[in-house]
Amino acid sequence: MSDMTASGTTRRSAPIPGILRTPPRELSLGRLFGGGRPGDIVRLPRYLILATLGAIAIWGPITTYLKKAPLSFSSEMSLILPGSGAAASVNLAEIGQASSFANSAFSSNSISPTETYKRLLSADRILNAAASSLGEQMRDIGRPKVELVDQTGLIRVQMKGPTPDAARARTEAVRQAFFTEVDALRHDELSVRETGALAAIEDYRGSVADTRETIATLQRDTGLVSSAQYDRLVSATDRLRADLAALASDLAEKQESVAALSRSLGIAPDQAAVSLKLYADADYVALLDEVALQTAAMAEANARFGTRHPEVTAARDALASAREMARQRAMALTGLSAEAVAALDLAQPGARAELLAELVREDAARRGLTSEHETMAARLDRESAQLAALAPVAARLEDMQRDFSVAEAVFASAIARSQSSKADIYASYPLVQVLENPSLPDRPSSPNRKLALAAGGAATLMMLFGLLLAWIRRPLIGRILARPMGAP
């Protein structure tokens, strides 16, 4: 800095006793950059002028800013994202399982919900909605200042306004617009999901209907309702086969019993039945008694007279007449021929009659068992043939019913998932809550008088320090020049 006079010209002046020990030197480059002696008080006015100009340059804009700048107030609110998820599972009998699960907001390392919400808070549609609710323009309300608190789920939002109420109203409008938009995004996501789920459900429904129609057609054509019915038919056929084997054993036993009685009595079972029928007729029994009497009379006549004696002849004729009458009666009762009646057992009833009755009963039982055996055998043949025809149908029906059960389970599970997913509204957009409501500022945030005064004071101190360095620059420069090269 040069030591110049107020007139801008250099001149020599007489030294002032007690103040300047040497007269002032003329203006030169060395004088300008090297400065004067620290004890030279003549330099002081120039430094005072520079300090005054510097103070004016510093404090003039600060004073103007503090007086003319409009007041601005800041309102803050805090949002928080809960860190825990929620899950629910319901088992529906014969339908399937319905589950709903909301992941934690911080469970993914690749997606930060706080960053997503930070960008959404500054989105134009949020600000447009907030400005429209206040009756202002988006450029008038400005953009919010969004700050994320590290290692937490906190989001701090700050809005400015010309008055405390306006600042709080803008913050509240942004909050409402943000929550409205988040709800709209959630419902839009659910709508898209539901649309896709309904398309899948319709496909599942068509698969179930087609499988059911195929099963119904197969049941209608074959008469086989289910594989369980086929299993019951197999079990019934097995039981029928076992019953037929047991019946065959009983029939063989009964046939042997009838054959033994027939051999013992020397009469066929049907003849024994006819004999018992004749013995049950009173007239026939009376005729048999008459035959017995005539037989006795003839034997007595033969014992007393010769074969041509009239009494013997009369007895013979009477016996023949009695026998003819008995034969005619037997033919009338049985409808048999004379030869068949002649072969009947005409013995008197008694113990033999009981045996004949037993033979008839055993033969009747044998005939019944034979008929039952034939009927059961025919039924077994029919059912065996039916089972042989239904075997491939039953296998196919079982496969189709299994496919139907799988399709129905998938269909029911799809419906259950579709319904349960409606409760999971926080899958993509996690739950966010208001931790601190928009505040009502009690002092303006701008202009900041303390900061302006501190900045002005710091600038003033720096200016004064610079002037001080300029005042003492000569000794400093001298020391630097007097220091040897390479010395520290």
Q: Is residue 127 part of a domain?
A: yes
pLDDT, tens digit, 9 for 90 and up, residues 62-105? 888 777 767 778 899 999 888 655 555 656 555 555 555 555 55
Shared domain for 260 and 156, answered yes or no, is no
CA distance 264 to 359: 10
Q: What is the DSSP letter of 90?
A: E
pLDDT for 180 equals 93
pLDDT of residue 327: 66
Could you tell me the two tokens for 42? 């003549």
DSSP class of residue 419 equals H
Does residue 253 sit in the same domain as residue 107? Answer: no
Running DSSP on this structure, what letter comes out for residue 146?
E
- Whether residue 273 sits in one domain with residue 366: yes
Residue 167 lies inside a defined structural domain of this protein? yes
Specify if 59 maps to a domain. Answer: no
372 and 258 housed in the same domain: yes
Structural domain count, the chain = 2
pLDDT tens across the length of the chain (488 residues)? 334 333 333 444 444 444 344 445 455 555 555 666 777 777 788 888 888 998 899 888 888 877 776 777 889 999 988 865 555 565 655 555 555 555 555 556 667 788 888 899 989 999 999 999 988 888 888 889 999 888 778 899 998 888 889 889 999 999 999 999 999 988 888 888 777 777 777 777 887 888 888 878 877 888 777 778 888 888 888 898 898 888 888 888 888 888 887 787 777 776 666 666 666 656 666 767 777 777 887 787 777 777 777 777 887 778 777 777 776 766 666 666 666 665 555 555 555 667 777 777 888 888 888 888 899 889 888 888 888 887 888 888 888 878 777 877 777 777 766 666 565 677 677 888 898 899 988 887 777 778 888 988 999 999 988 888 888 777 777 677 766 655 55
Query: 12 lies in a domain?
Result: no
Same domain, 304 and 178: no
pLDDT score recorded for residue 15: 45
Query: SS3 helix, strand, coil % of the chain, rounded to 5?
Result: 65, 10, 25
Look at residue 471 and tell me if it is in a domain.
Answer: no
Residue 46 lies in a domain: no
Q: Containing domain of residue 298, as a range?
A: 230-400
Residue 308 lies in a domain: yes
Pair (244, 189) in one structural domain: no
**pTM for the structure as a whole:** 0.48
